[in-house]
Amino acid sequence: MKGIYFLALTLFATSLYGQVKKAPNIIIIISDDHALSTIGAYGAKYGATPNIDRLAKEGAVFTNAFVNNSICAPSRATLLTGKYSHMNGLRDNMDEFDASQDVFPRRMQQAGFQTAWVGKWHLKTYPQGFDFWNIVPGQGQYYNPSFISMNGDTSKLNGYCTDVTTDIALDWLNKRDQEKPFCIVIGQKAPHRTWMPDIQDLGKYDQTKFPLPKNFYDKYENRLAAGKQDMNIVNTMKLGYDLKMKSDTSDKLNSATAFTTRMTATQRKAWNAYYDPIEADFLKQNLKGNGLLEWKYQRYMRDYLSTTLSLDRNIGRVLDYLDKNNLTENTIVIYTSDQGFYMGEHGWFDKRFMYEESMHAPFIVRYPEVVKAGTIMPQLVSNVDFAPTFLKLANVPIPAEIQGKSFDNLLKNPKAKFRESVYYHYYEFPGEHSVMRHFGIRTDRYKLIRFYGAANFWELYDLKTDPNEMNNIYGQQASASLTGELKQKLKALVTENKDDVALKVLAENN
């Protein structure tokens, strides 16, 4: 009896916004490694994202949404828990998620929502708190991917991963109990490395000559960790493994031929018909030095953007489904990614650093009943704030232990104030791509970063005068009082968030 009363209360309570109404549905589409610089809604001119741009036009674009740890599994753990990495236990991709901890979908489930997670999950343990899940193992595969179902069985499904993931999500939506609201997370693998486009999208960017980012030839002066990374296009990115050139056999295990092992004969034929002539032309050119580097950059951009075409098309399928089923008005649709990505800035691919391109994530919300179409939201928000925001929008109580804050009020009142700063802490070192451990604070104008472990040092950037973060002004006389202020703010954040590791670093060697 009590349960039924609670359910009714939640699903039909007077909403935050006045009138008595049905609880909204929530669809969260989270892609993997989607760089803001390639998304139309964030200013890209490549035309790769018409459906994301549509979502933005009909909703709100958060232009300052940041992740607190720019790497996959930790970002997903924060999305689920509303807690920083040191609290939810997911500091790096090697950690195993304790899925029995308090996650927002379980709270929604208990309040009467049907919950589901489909596609990339990447948290090692199986999901909990969901009525339905169907996930790819680990990073998943682009072609004819394996999926693990709730009974633990793994099956190889036919098709391209982004399509298959969407098929499963739409199928679940079709079969759901129409009397209850729903919350589904659609986790897309795309456009994660190794950027394998769908057959129908091969070559879509071959006529585009991508301009080099201003700091493509960065020499990393005065930035020790940046100079020591292993995520650059010149050396780390492989002609075979990353760019699909079969003649590169330098890394046999990961050779280019491995790309086609999961493909059907038809897929393989189309794949080779596209890449073989590119390779023939590449070999003929016999490129060296910067010529070779810039060729790699162009290929990288083409493969990556082509991979996002399917991602966007499948977002379109979800939006069409909502339209056709009369669900658009009462469904909150979120588009985000687990972090940003470098598209040649600093000469890099990958993420991890607290620099803008990787820390900055897309975050777009459409909720026709509440959000005015075409709203731009410049307030700083962190992914630690996502879970409490979803709960608040769903009218479900926010557990006291959640560290993030709900920014639902911004949706109603886009001029409202929110955070003064966001907090960041990256841990995966030593590890793939060799990015040193660091933590820091970002305000609307400045960024103070503390690297520790392998070496101890600070970096400070004025994002207004130096948006590309090339000029580390830490230690300069002119920035001394600013540094003092930011250090105090950082210490306050570290203390408030109970980050003992960071607190120790600050105490030992300020």
- Helix, strand, coil share (%) of the chain residues, nearest 5: 35, 15, 45
Q: Which stretch binds ligand SGN (CB under 6 A): 129-137, 186-194, 434-442, 470-478?
A: 186-194
Please report how close the Cβ of residue 138 comes to ligand SGN at its closest, in angstroms: 9
Q: Which is nearer to ligand SGN, 170 or 263 (by Cβ)?
A: 263
Distance CA 339, CA 64 (A): 13
At position 371, the amino acid (one-letter code) is V
* Shortest Å distance, C-beta 234 to ligand SGN: 16
Give least dist CB 251 to ligand SGN, A. Answer: 10
**CB nearer to Ca ion: pick between 107 and 122:** 122
> Hey, what are 282's tokens?
């590449």
Find the part of the chain contacting ligand SGN (CB under 6 A) among 53-61, 189-197, 222-230, 368-376.
Answer: 189-197
Number of CB atoms found within 10 A of residue 4's CB:
9
- Burial (CB < 10 A; 0-12, 13-18, 19+), residue 226, is buried
Residues binding ligand SGN: number (CB under 6 A) = 14
Strand partners, 493: none
33 contacts ligand SGN (rule: CB under 6 A): yes
**Residue length, the chain?**
510
Please tell me whether residue 432 binds ligand SGN under the rule CB under 6 A.
yes
Q: Is 194 in the site for ligand SGN (CB under 6 A)?
A: yes
Q: Which of 95, 279, 312, 350 binds ligand SGN (CB under 6 A)?
A: 350
58 makes contact, choosing from Ca ion, ligand SGN, none, with CB < 5 to 8 Å by partner type, with: none
Residue whose CB is less far from ligand SGN, 69 or 403:
69
Count of CB atoms situated within 10 Å of the CB of 166 = 26
Nearest distance in Å: CB 466, ligand SGN: 26
Minimal distance, residue 339 CB to ligand SGN, in Å: 7
Q: Outline where DSSP puts E strands in 231-361.
A: 331-337
**HSE toward the beta carbon, residue 15, CA cutoff 13 A:** 19
* Residue bearing tokens 């456009």: 191
- 193 binds ligand SGN, rule: CB under 6 A: yes
**On the CB side of 27, how many CA atoms lie within 13 Å of its CA?**
24
Tell whether residue 303 is a contact of ligand SGN (CB under 6 A).
no
Could you write out the DSSP letters of every residue in 93-121? Answer: TTS---TTS--HHHHHHHTT-EEEEEEE-
The answer to whether 93 contacts ligand SGN (rule: CB under 6 A) is yes
User: Which residue in this structure is represented by tokens 């920035």?
Assistant: 479
Residue 350 touches which member of ligand SGN, Ca ion, none, C-beta under 5-8 Å by kind: ligand SGN
Site for ligand SGN in 357-416 (CB under 6 A): none
Q: What is the pattern of x (binds Ca ion, CB under 5 A) and - over residues 58-97? A: --------------x-------------------------
For residue 125 the two structure tokens come to 């343990």
117 beta partners: 133, 185
Give the C-alpha separation, 195 to 303, whole Å: 6
305 is a site residue for ligand SGN (CB under 6 A): no
Binding partner at 93 among ligand SGN, Ca ion, none, C-beta below 5 to 8 Å by kind: ligand SGN
Judged by CB, which is closer to ligand SGN: 194, or 314? 194
Q: Are 303 and 196 in contact (CB under 8 A)?
A: yes
Tokens describing residue 196: 């394998």
Other CB atoms within 10 A of residue 64 CB: 17
194 binds, among Ca ion, ligand SGN, none (CB under 5 to 8 A by kind): ligand SGN
Q: Which of residues 246-285 bind ligand SGN (CB under 6 A)?
A: none
The nearer residue to Ca ion, 405 or 425, going by C-beta atoms, is 425
Give the DSSP per-residue string, 271-295.
Answer: HHHHHHHHHHHHHHHT--HHHHHHH
Applying CB under 5 A, the residues found at the interface with Ca ion are 32-33, 72, 338
Applying CB under 6 A, the residues found at the interface with ligand SGN are 32-33, 71-72, 93, 122, 139, 192-194, 338, 350, 432-433
